[in-house]
Amino acid sequence: MAAAQLRIDGASITQVRGLLAGAAIFTVFGALWVVMALIHWSARPGWCLPAALMAAITLLGLCIASLSASRHIRRDDNPLAFAAGKQAGMLFGIIFGIEAGLIALCAMVLAHRGLELWIPIVAALIIGIHFLPLAKIFQVPLYYGTGVLMVLGVAGCLIIPDFALRLLCMGLMMTAVLWGSALVLLWQTRL
């Protein structure tokens, strides 16, 4: 296979597969945010939850199809790339552990103080912030935008006085940012 086929826009096929897996993860978590937002919306039209789930299934199908299409391309067996990937994986694990720990700690403190409704807001803020170091670790500039949009979106939602509407808007914003990022990743890694 020619060297041009092993790399897509300067990324190795291993990196492309990682980005596609990331797009699938964004899709799943976007689906969780939209379901959480819509389930608690008292004026929810009957069609919006099925429509959101169909959008999630369609986007996830595109991610899976792209991952499947990448199987026919031979992997890069570069030992330096393998070592870098292993280090990036370890750093991701550390960042994910810190993120999960912070969310759990904040959830416990907020619940103890009777502020359970603030848990998704704090979680969304922490999730947005966690994308900033991931952008550097995985060398994916898009993740900077993803993180910044989430943090700014949470800040914007805080000005909404009605708490139920605030949570709805925040959940929809998180979904839009995650699914939008997934679509950009799919576009960037198209085979």
Instruction: Please write the tens of the pLDDT for every residue from 116-132.
Output: 999 999 999 999 999 99
7: part of which helix (H) or strand (E)? strand 7-8
Q: Does 3 or 148 have the greater pLDDT score? A: 148
Tell me, yes or no, if the pTM score tops 0.85.
yes
pLDDT above 50 for 138: yes
The per-residue pLDDT for 27 is 97
pLDDT above 90 for 76: no
The per-residue pLDDT for 80 is 72
The per-residue pLDDT for 12 is 74
The per-residue pLDDT for 124 is 97
Pick from 181, 171, 98, 170: nearest CA to 147: 181
Residue pair 49/111 in contact (Cβ under 8 Å)? The answer is: no
SS (H, E, C) 123-165: HHHHHHHHHHHHHHHHCCCHHHHHHHHHHHHHHHHCCCCCHHH
Residue pair 173/125 in contact (Cβ under 8 Å)? The answer is: no
- Residue carrying the six token digits 């826009």: 9
Question: What is the C-alpha separation between 32 and 172, in angstroms, rounded?
Answer: 10
Q: Does 76 or 66 have the greater pLDDT score? A: 66
Centroid of chain to Cα 116: 23
159-177 tens-digit pLDDT: 999 999 999 999 999 999 9
Long-range contact set of residues 139-146: C-beta below 8 Å, sequence gap at least 24? 140/19, 140/22, 142/181, 142/184, 142/185, 142/188, 143/181, 145/181, 146/177, 146/178, 146/181
